[in-house]
Structure 1
Amino acid sequence: MTSNKKYSVVSLFSGCGGMDLGFKGGFSFLGKDYPSHAFDIVWANEINAAACKTYQYNLGQEIHHGDVWEKMGHLPNNADIVIGGFPCQDISVNGKGAGINGKRSGLYRAMVETVAKLKPRIFIAENVKGLLMRQHAQDLEQILNDFKKLGYRVRCKLHSVADYGVPQTRERVIITGTRNDMEEFSHPDGMLGADEYITAQEVLHDLANLEERPEINHIWSRAGKSPDQGNRRLRRDRPGYTIRAECHGNIQWHYELPRRISMREAARIQSFPDDFIFCAGLRETERQIGNAVPPVFAWHIARAVADFLNNTGNA
């Protein structure tokens, strides 16, 4: 069964809009079109003011700026879908290991409360690979059980975004839940094998000789060599390394140039279209890009969600 119905979406922890852009669709990346989806984002929230500015500029719609707990009173009465990448600093490999008891990662409970209130047909939650590490096994079980108690069939899968045409070796956990009165959602599989991944040279070569242009975010950090992760150099024949949010200027080096990659180059590695402009300076743009869900990856998740909803009826 197919349908032309528009599905309503509530977006939490929206950041600069990477996941939301993927759900909306209607953009191009590396010469490939990603058509619009039948989703209408009816409510979105983000605590970072600069990210809200970027979101509104590029997605052209309102976003509620502020603490999610303070804004939840303004949620709509219902929605077909709830999406969000709840903060992961306490779970990340580079984090402090506090797990879901940490101040930031414990915010997943806001998503649980939103699902409890809106009773969406499906929810999509994104988080870091670290959630699957042994030391976080109890955290993951708690998260899944909290959603299951609301009457949802919950599934969890690790995805490599390079499999979906994102030029980056980023791995992320996607947690999905469908109401118990519906069929179970099947996670989409990637389309590309390792020998088909988009390489750093393919995605960046045309920017190599371009001087800095702040209006398109083609600016880069002058930070010197670092003994930590910031000393890695891209390899021209493989996808980029994971773009981090808190690199403090120590973002990876260009595969051949004597400089770190620019913010436009980082955005390319995250699969943002070139007309997506980050309304911030260097450091804040680094944070927005690193925190984002790659739009191309989100587009493929959204297409699977649309197909699922269309084929399970509109009740």
Structure 2
Amino acid sequence: MNTSARALHLAGMLSAILMGLAGCGGGDSDPQTVVAPSIDPYYNVCRGVDPACYNDWGAFANSPNRVLIYSRTAGPRHANLGTPMAAGLNPAMNADNVMQAGLKRMFEEAGIAADWTEDVTVIANRINNYKAVVFASSNRDTLWNEAVTTSNDAARTALRNYMRRGGGFVGLHNAFGAEYNWPYYEGLLGNANFYNHAPNRNGDVQILADDPSTQGVPARFAFQDEWYNLTPFPTNVKFLAKVDTATLDPLTASPHPGHKDFHPVAWCQYYDGGRAWLTTLGHNTHSFQANSEGPGAQAFQKLVVQGVKSVMGLTPFCTATK
């Protein structure tokens, strides 16, 4: 997003807030005027921490507790994703598909059935079968179908309509490096996108909020990651965790300007009728392995599983209070 567009975005948000304030209180306002203070005028959706942005239509009330793990990459592929998988739903996993296999194991241990795919047509045609979809480091034009030579927006349209039905979205790690040219997706991430990262290194994750997704997670735990820097920086979200930048090793690899004192790594928001839970963490293979002795792996896995449960509606969502 260029500077002028960002300025218009911020001006629009201020206008929406002022409209909301004008609509509060007194009884002299036009009864036909609908005030929607949670509307983000840039993305033109209702988003933020207000539950009024959720479309509680019961669209998934009778759906099984099943999630879809989507790990298609259209650019650089993280090592923990392993060899690209065949088309279709639930293709054979290779031994190096560690992230996908780890997520499947984590969810099933929590009583959640899991399917997996790297086939964009599954998103386009089957996404409504799931209470949550997990974008697992699926990057760049991940929703583009090379086989389509005419209109190519089927998967984007399906994802948008899925959110509007009250669906649940979870974005992990390089899901922040996806769909740069689709503003709706940037908004889904919380008005955020991947900018760059310093070397993969140790640091302490600090939990910021009392939330169903953070319950039982240590208030501070050692971890190892790339610690993504973000541009734009997330707004109008509930921040759940950050990296304590004073603990990063080495300190000489400084964060992007603006991240030094507050570098979030997990947050949640309502978005366009659905729920979205996001984390920039998840670079390393050991973070997804069972009984891993890697720093903070068990705490991270608990955080992700509980985030998924919250967007599925199995626990309250984004109710953090501090």
Fold shared by both chains (TM-score > 0.5) = no
Q: TM-score range, shorter-chain basis?
A: 0.3 to 0.5
TM-score of the superposed pair, with normalisation by structure 2: 0.33
TM-score of the superposed pair, with normalisation by structure 1: 0.33
- Name the one with the larger helix percent: 1
- Name the one with the larger strand percent: 2
